[in-house]
Structure 1
């Protein structure tokens, strides 16, 4: 069993997944657009992402643009947590996710010994970056 987050956006999914592909050094796969399968889709949504995957390491994120007329809500009760064991990489990921976003907890050594920080990126996704160097 594996948990795979599926992220929905309001028409900017392509920008989001390409940004995350750059940050996490991943690869985008299986991009399907609404117009590929539904010729009756309004012209304004035909190029929207119906489904796509991003893989990086052993991880996967899935993406979609919201259907016309459906409001996307990312949910304040959910954060995506990334665990790393390289402090320089952790800081790089945190800094890139912070660009245009809101840092809710700066990267700093914590009482449990890890380097940890929290950020809401410019797309509204909440992230927790935890680095246990040497693990």
Structure 2
């Protein structure tokens, strides 16, 4: 588990993102039980209601499902949903501003692609 929380963002969001990252990188696998709100509260020394808020958002997003009396488990579609959401955020937070700046600087699409390939050495997926 991520060992420290910081003051830069609300704690429940950090809890939520920790669970999301753990699902994406498969530290927590599909169908697996996630730490309970009480376990998270004890580990991070926070109020269980704070941990619950992050977990409840994951339930509402169909990332986790509650099994009464047993705990919360990763849904079958969790990783796919999370990656789709992250790709959308990536597009909005990075690609759109990149395109706007490229347009201001009169950088063509081909030039932009060339820059990305040269600088990023990105793997082909």
TM-score, normalised by the number of residues in structure 1: 0.28
Q: Which structure features the higher share of strand residues? A: 1
Please tell me whether Structure 1 or Structure 2 has the larger radius of gyration of its CA atoms: 2
Whichever structure has more helix as a proportion of its residues is: 2
